[in-house]
A and B are shown apart, each in its own frame.
Chain A
C-alpha cells in the first residue's frame, strides 16, 4: 500500500470515528413553583385588556457545560410580544445568537434590560415595522426582559456558551441528543437562584438517564 492508500485508510478511519453515533441524555428536572398569575395595571386605560392572561408554566433549561466553539453562522431566535406577554417567557440561546422581538399586539411595548450581560432599550415600535428590532447576545449570563409600559411583563434569556441545551417540558422532562461522548458536566438551570449540576460519562450511541433532584434533595445544587 502506497502512501496515498495509507492516507485514504486513515481518513476513512477518522471519518468512521467522526460518524460515531452521538450520545444522549434524558430525564426529569424538579421545577420551580409556579408564580402567581400577574394582574395587568389598567387604572388609567380606556380600553380594558388582559382580563385573561396566558402565561407559561415553569420550565427549566438543561445544558452540557463546556467550552464549545461559537456558531459559524449566528443563530436567530425570537421572543414575541403577544397579548401583553412575552412568548416564550424563558429562552435559552448560545452566545452570539441574535434575538428578534416582534410586537404582535396592536399596542406599544417598550422592551428593556438592565442586566449586566446586556443592557438595552428598544423603545416603542409597531407590529408592522421592519426590520424587527433585535439584539445580539454575546456574553453568557442571565438577562431579565421587562416592558416599560406593562410592568407585569417579564421574560428571561439564558445565554450559554454551549450549543447543547434544551428547555424541559412543563412536566420537567427533557431529552438532549447529539452530544459528544466523554466526561462532561450536565447542568439544569431552574430559576435565577437555582442551578443544579451533575458530572456525567456519556457513551457514544447510548442514552443516559439523569434526574435532577427537587428541593428536598439538593445534591449537586450550586
Chain B
C-alpha cells in the first residue's frame, strides 16, 4: 500500500502537461450529471445577465471555452508550428446588449494562443466591438459602427466554435497564397518563389514566410469600419467600408492610425432569401492588400491604393430539417503594377447532417486554382492548385458541452509532400 508521502511523490512525478491540464478542466466541466450541470449553467446564465426594471436596457455575457488540439504532417492553413502537433485553448467571451428597440451592441474578447493558433503564450484581445442603430424595424435598415466581421459571404454566420460544423475555416478563408502584405513582389520570378512555384527562397525567409502570406479572406475579418445593413422584401443588403481589405491579417485589424485609413476597403453583399430554406448571395469587395508599413517598399510614384485586391463572390445556403448545405465561390484578383494581375478562384461545398439530437457529421470539399502571370516569355500559374477534403463528426453531451473531431486530406502546396493530412479535436463548453 502506498503511504501518503509516496502518493504525493508519485502525483508530482505524474504532473500533467499544460495541454493535459486544460483537457482535465474541460472534462471536469463536461462530466457532472447533466441535470446538475444544467442547473449550474442556468445559474451562471442568470448571474451573467442583467436587465433594467422595465427591460429597456438589458445585457448578457456569454462565451465558449475551447480546448483544441491539432496533429499534422505540416501545419495546415494559417497555423504556425515547427512541430507536428499543437494544443490551442481558447476562452471567448461575448457581450450582447440592447438599449430600447433601436440600439444593439456587442463585443467579443478572447484569450488564446493567437487568432490563428501558434506556438505562442496566451494573449488577451478584444476582437470585436460594435454598435448597431436601427431607427425602425419597418424601415428595414441599420447602421453599424465598430470592429466587426465582414458582410461578405455566408461563413461568418457560423464561424464560432459552437455553430461551426468544422474546427477549421474553409480553404478560401485560410489558405495562404503567394501574396505578401508587407511588400509587393518586384518581379514575377519573386512572386513565383513566394508562391512556391519556383525554388530559390533563401532559407531564412523560408522559415518565416508563412507569416507574410495572405489568403483570399483572412477568417471573418474583424476590421474597423462602418456598415449599412437591411432588408427589402426578400432581398438582404449589406455595405461596409473598412480600414483594411478581406485578405488583411489580424494585426492589421487592430491598427488605428491615419495611414491605416488612407486606403479603405469597400465590400457589399446582396442576398435573395425567398424563404428560410434558401439564401443566395452575391458579394463584391475592393481594397488594398498591403499593410501600411509596406508603403516604404513601394516603387516611386506608387501608393498602397495601386495594389488592390478585388473580389467577386457567390454563395448559397440551404437548410431543411436536419440537413444544412453551404457553398461559396470567390474570384479574387491581386493587382500588381509592373507584373500584372494575379488571379485565383477558391470554392467549397459543405454539408452537415444531424443524425440524432446529439450526433451530427459534416463533410467539406474545398479547392483553389490560380491564374497565370507572364514569366520569361510564357504564362505560368502563380500558385499550386490545392484541394482539401474534410470530415467532422460532432457529439453534444449536453446543451453546453460539445466534442468535435476533424480529419482532413489535402493535396497541393503542403511543403515537400504532395498530400498532407491532419486531424483535430475540439471540446467546447458554452456558457
Contacts and interface: CB of A to CB of B under 8 A. Distances in A.
Interface in A38-90: 38-49, 51-53
Given A43-B106, A48-B134, A48-B137, A124 B51 contact: no
Nearest to B156: A44
A183 interface: no
Given A39-B58, A120-B357, A126 B98 contact: no
Contacts of B38: 144
A108 B398 contact: no
Contacts of A119: 357-358
B128 interface: yes
A213 B50 CA distance: 27
A38 B60 contact: yes
A12 interface: no
A121 B354 contact: yes
B16 interface: no
Contact of A123 (B50, B94, B321, B399): B321
Which of B50, B100, B275 has most A Cβ within 10 Å?
B275
Nearest to A109: B276
A115 B142 CA distance: 38
A108 B278 CA distance: 11
Interface stretch (B24-32, B228-236, B325-333): B228-236
B46 A39 contact: no
Which of B55, B59, B108 has most A Cβ within 10 Å?
B55
A123 B98 contact: no
Contact of B101 (A36, A51, A106, A126): A51
Given A46-B271, A119-B357, A121-B356, A114 B396 contact: yes
Nearest to B354: A121
B95 to A, nearest CB: 9
A46 B322 contact: no
A123 B324 CA distance: 10
Given A43-B128, A44-B149, A44-B157, A114 B358 contact: yes
A108 B98 CA distance: 22
A112 interface: yes
B34 A37 contact: no
Given A124-B320, A124-B321, A36 B46 contact: yes
Nearest to A127: B276
B319 A108 contact: yes
B104 interface: yes
Interface in A87-122: 106-108, 112-114, 116, 119-122
A123 B319 CA distance: 9
Contacts of A44: 149, 156-157
B229 A46 contact: yes
B151 interface: yes
Nearest to A113: B357
A51 B58 contact: no
Contacts of A120: 357
Given A46-B229, A123-B320, A124-B320, A146 B399 contact: yes
A130 interface: no
Contact of B34 (A116, A124, A146): A116
B96 interface: yes
Contacts of A123: 320-323, 354
Interface string A120-136: 11111110000000000
Contact of B132 (A36, A42, A146, A151): A42
A152 B229 CA distance: 23
Contacts of B142: 48
Contacts of B313: none
Given A47-B231, A48-B137, A192-B42, 4 more contacts: A123-B323, A123-B354, A124-B277, A124-B322
26 contacts: A36-B46, A36-B58, A36-B60, A42-B104, A43-B94, A43-B108, A43-B130, A46-B269, A46-B271, A47-B229, A48-B104, A48-B142, A51-B98, A51-B134, A52-B101, A107-B276, A108-B276, A112-B357, A114-B357, A119-B358, A121-B322, A123-B320, A125-B320, A144-B38, A151-B62, A152-B60
Interface of A: 35-49, 51-53, 106-108, 112-114, 116, 119-126, 144, 146, 151-152, 192-193
